[in-house]
Amino acid sequence: MNSEDFLFNIALYGPALFIVVATILSVLTPGYGMVKNTISELALGKLGRLQEVNFVVSGGLIVTLGILLVGRHAALYQSLGIIAMGSIMFLSAFFRTDPVDQSVTRTTTPRGAVHIALFMVGILAMMTAQLGWSLHSFGSLFSLYSLLSGIVVLVCFAGVANRPQQGGLFQRILLVDIMTWITMFALVNGR
């Protein structure tokens, strides 16, 4: 195994690492509700530094995975979408979200507004990557999975925006879907 293959195998753990660490922190953070609160809100609590590290490490691994996929001539648009999503996760450590419970802040801070904008760009990049792949390799099993995955992201994105009391649940489903798709795309196209 050469060093690029070794790095690829390590980077493959980025999406799963993100979800596992966020889930553990969700359980350990007092007053945190997985249905209402978003994963980004974990950065606001007592264990916030750990979520910031999770954003940096997992995001960095996902960026690395995307770069390696570009180098392996995997579908360029999808690989760039993965790089964008990893970069946005990385930046989320520095542009923390505002609490979902607006009774606490009543306003959106500039840093929170940047976080929301980054989230939207990342989700739209991944959704178009998923739906684009479904058209690119139409008829394959992974094409069908990509189509269904993109639809789940679209529905959950609408749920995050329109159902704040369940926003955390919709965001979790959305991010598990995206992280799973990134891993599957890399396994299918990067080997």
Q: What residue segments make up the domains of the chain, in order of their start?
A: 3-189
Q: Give the mean pLDDT of the chain.
A: 92
Asked if 131 and 185 touch (Cβ cutoff 8 Å), the reply is no
Q: Quick one: average pLDDT of 15-42?
A: 95
Q: Which long-range contacts (CB under 8 A, 24 or more apart) does 135-140 make?
A: 136/75
**Could you tell me the sign of the dihedral formed by the alpha carbons of 156, 136, 69, 121, in that order?**
negative
Q: Residue 163 in 3-state DSSP?
A: coil
So what's the pLDDT on residue 105?
52
pLDDT tens column, 83-140: 999 999 999 999 988 887 655 556 788 998 999 999 999 999 999 999 999 988 778 8
So what's the pLDDT on residue 137?
76
d(CA 11, CA 59): 10
